[in-house]
């Protein structure tokens, strides 16, 4: 749960009446405009609003107020909450605001192409859609398929990067590791026999050496035959 100020205008009324903080300090702490704080001090605004003591609510300490009164450049800081309220876990598909629902097909297309390991239920949790829509986009049978453009759902604000990473990790769990492609290192049993300046022989070199040996044997055989004839 985010640590935010409760009832900012009522808090500003109390700070104006009970402290020597500047208008700018109170405005910064309460998220108001300095002119609005000045209007509160002049009685032109917030009439009928009862001031709320931020010390009693645990959102501001007496020491912090005194520090601000001594230094007009000091920016007041909210006190850390003493009680942590756990965030409620979301059940079912994620709710998507009306203004962003038109972006969901583009996000689904991005997820299908960039993370084919994701299941339909995972995509549904991320962007708040139905399995039927996902299937239509996979099969290119969606009514707007010709105009869809893959777009990252994190960039669109449909889900957070943390949620996406969690779903990708879940989908990748238990999958076989990718087989390395290209050149690989030689076994240790071969490299141990090689000196630092020595390089492993290739099969082509071995074939050339074998041809040279046979050629030498043939020349020796021909020489011995000539000696016998003499």
Output the average pLDDT for the chain: 77
Tell me, yes or no, if the pTM score tops 0.85. no
Q: How many CB atoms lie within 10 A of CB 168?
A: 17
Query: What are the two backbone dihedrals, phi and then psi, of residue 48, each rounded to the nearest 5 degrees?
Result: 90, -5
**125 domain residue, yes or no:** yes
**227 domain residue, yes or no:** no
Quote the percentage of the chain above a pLDDT of 90.
26
DSSP output for the chain: -----SSHHHHHHHHHHH----HHHHHHHHT--HHHHHHHHTTSSSTTPPP--TTTTTSS-HHHHHHHHH-TTPPP-PPPPSSPPPPPPP-SSPP--GGGGGGHHHHHHHHHHH-TT--HHHHHHHHT--HHHHHHHHTT-STTGGG-----HHHHTSS-HHHHHHHHHHHHTTPPPPPP-S--PPPHHHHTTS-TT--PPPHHHHHHHHHHHHHHHHHHHHHHHHHHH-
pLDDT digits (tens, 9 = 90+) for 176-225: 555 445 555 555 555 555 555 555 555 445 455 556 666 666 666 555 55
**80 domain residue, yes or no:** no
Q: How many domains does the chain have?
A: 2
* Domain C-terminal end among 155, 172, 189: 172
* Domain C-terminal end among 149, 172, 195: 172
* Average pLDDT of span 2-13: 80
Residue 15 structural domain: 8-70
**46 domain residue, yes or no:** yes
pLDDT digits (tens, 9 = 90+) for 138-159: 999 988 888 889 988 888 888 8
Q: Which residue has the tokens 């996406």?
A: 164
């Amino acid at each position: 749960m985010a640590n935010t100020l409760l009832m900012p205008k009522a808090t500003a009324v109390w700070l104006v009446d009970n402290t020597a903080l500047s208008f700018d300090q109170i405005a910064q702490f309460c998220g108001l405009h300095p002119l609005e704080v000045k209007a509160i001090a002049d009685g032109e605004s917030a009439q009928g609003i009862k001031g709320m003591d931020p010390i009693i609510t645990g959102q501001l300490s007496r020491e912090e107020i005194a520090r601000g009164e001594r230094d007009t450049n000091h920016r007041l800081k909210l006190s850390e909450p003493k009680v942590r309220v756990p965030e409620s876990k979301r059940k079912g598909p994620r709710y998507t605001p009306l203004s962003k629902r038109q972006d969901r097909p583009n996000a689904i297309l991005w997820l299908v192409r960039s993370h084919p390991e994701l299941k339909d239920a995972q995509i549904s949790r991320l962007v708040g859609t139905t399995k039927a829509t996902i299937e239509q986009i996979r099969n290119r049978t969606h009514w707007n398929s010709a105009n869809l453009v893959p777009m990252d759902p994190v960039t669109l604000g449909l889900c957070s990067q943390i949620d996406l990473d969690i779903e990708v990790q879940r989908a990748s769990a238990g999958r076989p590791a990718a087989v390395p492609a290209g050149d690989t290192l030689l076994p240790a049993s071969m490299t141990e026999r090689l000196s630092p300046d020595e390089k492993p022989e290739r099969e082509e070199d071995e074939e050339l050496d074998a041809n040279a040996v046979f050629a030498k044997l043939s020349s020796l055989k021909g020489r011995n035959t000539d000696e016998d004839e003499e």
